């Protein structure tokens, strides 16, 4: 490997010399790639095809000592550093233009202790990996809804999904984390070891170090649950969304019912005449018994006159892959997200009107129902601060042709801005895009100042800044 030009933390351009690069590469088990390597272009790809950045180097880490070496190399050279787990975040912060990409996608080991109901999970593991291993023992922890999402990024930003109303956020089930901090040291963070770091990791994103191992609490779930989809025509949207909202106020914690407004995909249980038309989809999952699920979810079929439904006993791990075809890697994506404590009639009407103007067949607006167990955790118990969000709206712009970039982004921004007066003002950091740095402080609310203090202790030079950045308390925002 010849000398490489790279970008520093100060945005200066420097050169890494060949002897230094050779010594560094010798420390990384999976090797170090530069732009001349045939594997480079594939390695720099992430889920969101809108992200097309070219790092100076990619360190393919397979062990904790690899991660330590990469962090120390970046710090010694003041090299812009990014960290990749699953590479699924909408902002594409896994890839640093001109920097060092620390790639942990090969670190996917998972060990389940069924007797203790815990799991040790590697930073490159995907949700599908985790669900598969845990479900072999009839266990699970709250995760997201797309099996190709990375466990690491999901967890560090908070994490919610079908089990959240019953078992809390992903971070509420994190027992410990092993972390390589900016000085290259390895620390174990838990309620009794480095408690401030542990607090910050539970929602504070990748601001405080590189997590090389997560330990989670598991819960008995499935292996079969009552789950599926109920679909209504857009013409009934006002009626069924108000019925859904009102139903949710008394729904048991075991039941989660979300709402998705979009053009109907060619689902096999829908009449062909409905394909491509505007619909309201209610995906739902009940994590109690199948019999209780059928009873508790029955009213969803009576919100209006459905054009199709597919409900029944379903493998939990299988339902976790239901939306995978709609979220496959390789498309261009842009999101805008609002948190809501309640959904007024006016807010719902706004969502409906926006969904009727979707700029493409892959675009959608979804409303995730939260509350339950996650809302009963104190706001300052973890860095994640959105406990007052009973709903999270994600305006999902998704398209294929770069010529549609501005059209789709303008639509998404317009929906977000129109909905803002009805929202809490905070956001879910896992849904914030690369142009929303100004929303970070608001998303953490009263927790932000404490996060800045923890950042000052563990990363005073802001080495870990390729994220939704929390600046150290003693430095200006960088």
CATH of the domain at 210: 3.30.465.10
Mean pLDDT value across residues 72-92: 96
Q: Are residues 139 and 262 in the same domain?
A: no
Query: Looking at residue 470, what is its pLDDT?
Result: 95
Place of tokens 């491509």: 276
Q: Are residues 280 and 405 in the same domain?
A: yes
Q: Are residues 244 and 190 in the same domain?
A: no
Mean pLDDT value across residues 254-261: 98
CATH of the domain at 75: 3.30.43.10
Q: Are residues 193 and 206 in the same domain?
A: yes
Q: Are residues 27 and 164 in the same domain?
A: no
Q: Rounded to two decimals, what is the model's pTM?
A: 0.95
Assess if residue 438 is contained within a domain.
Answer: no
Q: Are residues 191 and 236 in the same domain?
A: no
Q: Are residues 317 and 395 in the same domain?
A: yes
CB 370 within 8 A of CB 428: no
Beta bridge partners of 279: 233, 262
Exposure string (b/e) for 281-319, b if CB count within 10 Å is 16 or more?
bbbbbbbbebeebeebbeebeebbebbbbebeebebbbb
Q: Tokens for 468, please give them.
A: 């939704």
Assess if residue 26 is contained within a domain.
Answer: yes
Domain housing 196: 110-221+448-458
**Residue 27: partners with Cβ closer than 8 Å, 6 or more residues away:** 65, 66, 69, 73
The span from the CA of 456 to the CA of 462, in Å, is: 8
CB 196 within 8 A of CB 179: no
Q: What single string gives the DSSP state of each residue in 156-201? A: HH----TTHHHH--SGGGEEEEEEE-TTS-EEEEESSSSHHHHHHH
Confidence of residue 434 (pLDDT cuts 50, 70, 90): confident
Last residue of a domain, one of 103, 130, 149: 103
The span from the CA of 160 to the CA of 158, in Å, is: 7
Q: Are residues 257 and 389 in the same domain?
A: yes
Mean pLDDT value across residues 166-188: 98
Q: Are residues 304 and 392 in the same domain?
A: yes
Query: Looking at residue 477, what is its pLDDT?
Result: 43
Q: Tokens for 433, please give them.
A: 């895009």
Q: Are residues 68 and 139 in the same domain?
A: no
The span from the CA of 297 to the CA of 306, in Å, is: 14
Q: Tokens for 440, please give them.
A: 């970070």
Q: What percent of the chain has pLDDT over 90?
A: 97
H or E element that contains 233: strand 224-233
Assess if residue 441 is contained within a domain.
Answer: no
Mean pLDDT value across residues 212-233: 98
Assess if residue 474 is contained within a domain.
Answer: no
Quick: pLDDT tens for 374-399. 999 999 999 999 999 999 999 999 99
Assess if residue 80 is contained within a domain.
Answer: yes
Does position 478 have pLDDT exceeding 80, yes or no?
no
Q: Are residues 421 and 302 in the same domain?
A: yes
Task: Give me the number of domains the chain comprises.
Answer: 3
Assess if residue 463 is contained within a domain.
Answer: no
CATH of the domain at 379: 3.40.462.20
Assess if residue 300 is contained within a domain.
Answer: yes
Strands of 51-162 (E only): list them.
57-60, 81-84, 100-103, 110-113, 118-121, 139-140
Angle at CA of residue 394, ends 206 and 420, nearest 5°: 100
Q: Are residues 416 and 387 in the same domain?
A: yes
Mean pLDDT of all residues in the chain?
96
Confidence of residue 474 (pLDDT cuts 50, 70, 90): confident
Tell me phi and psi for residue 376, to 5 degrees: -90, 0
Assess if residue 199 is contained within a domain.
Answer: yes
């Amino acid at each position: 490997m010849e000398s490489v030009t790279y970008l520093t933390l100060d945005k200066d351009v420097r050169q890494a010399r060949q002897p230094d690069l050779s010594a560094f590469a010798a420390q990384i088990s999976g090797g170090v790639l530069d732009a001349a390597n045939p594997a480079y272009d594939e390695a720099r790809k992430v889920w969101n095809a809108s992200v097309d950045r070219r790092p100076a180097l990619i360190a393919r880490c397979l062990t904790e000592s690899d991660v330590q070496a990469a962090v120390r190399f970046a710090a010694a050279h003041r090299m812009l550093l990014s960290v990749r787990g699953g590479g699924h975040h909408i902002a594409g912060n896994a890839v640093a233009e001109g920097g060092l990409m620390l790639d942990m996608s090969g670190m996917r080991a998972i060990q389940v202790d069924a007797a203790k109901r815990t799991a040790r999970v590697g930073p490159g593991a995907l949700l599908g990996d985790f669900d598969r291993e845990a479900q072999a023992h009839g266990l699970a922890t709250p995760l997201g809804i797309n099996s190709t999402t990375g466990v690491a990024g999901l967890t560090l930003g908070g994490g919610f999904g079908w089990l959240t109303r019953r078992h809390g956020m992903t971070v509420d089930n994190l027992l410990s984390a092993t972390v390589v901090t900016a000085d290259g040291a390895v620390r174990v963070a838990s309620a009794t070891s480095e408690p401030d770091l542990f607090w910050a990791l539970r929602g504070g994103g990748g601001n405080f170090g590189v997590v090389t191992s997560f330990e989670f609490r598991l819960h008995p779930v499935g292996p079969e649950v009552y789950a599926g989809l109920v679909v209504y025509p857009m013409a009934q949207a006002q009626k069924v969304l108000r019925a859904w909202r009102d139903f949710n106020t008394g729904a048991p914690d075991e039941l989660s019912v979300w709402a998705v407004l979009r053009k109907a995909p060619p689902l096999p249980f829908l009449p062909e005449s409905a394909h491509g038309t505007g619909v309201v989809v209610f995906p739902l999952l009940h994590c109690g018994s199948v019999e209780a699920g059928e009873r508790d979810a029955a009213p969803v079929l009576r919100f209006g006159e459905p054009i199709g439904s597919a409900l029944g006993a379903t493998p939990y791990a299988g339902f976790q892959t239901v939306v995978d075809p709609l979220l496959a890697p390789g498309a261009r994506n842009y999101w805008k997200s609002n948190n809501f404590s309640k959904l007024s009639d006016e807010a719902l009407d706004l969502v409906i009107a926006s969904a009727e103007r979707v700029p493409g067949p892959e675009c959608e607006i979804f409303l995730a129902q939260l509350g339950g167990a996650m809302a009963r955790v104190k706001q300052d118990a973890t860095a994640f601060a959105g406990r007052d969000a009973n709903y999270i709206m994600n305006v999902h712009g998704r398209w294929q042709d770069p010529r549609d970039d501005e059209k789709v982004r303008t639509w998404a921004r317009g929906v977000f801005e129109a909905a803002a007066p009805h929202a809490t003002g905070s956001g879910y950091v896992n849904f914030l895009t690369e142009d929303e740095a100004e929303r970070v402080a608001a998303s953490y609310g009263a927790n932000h100042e404490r996060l800045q203090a923890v950042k000052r202790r563990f990363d005073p030079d802001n080495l870990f800044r390729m994220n939704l950045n929390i600046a150290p308390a003693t430095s200006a925002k960088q």
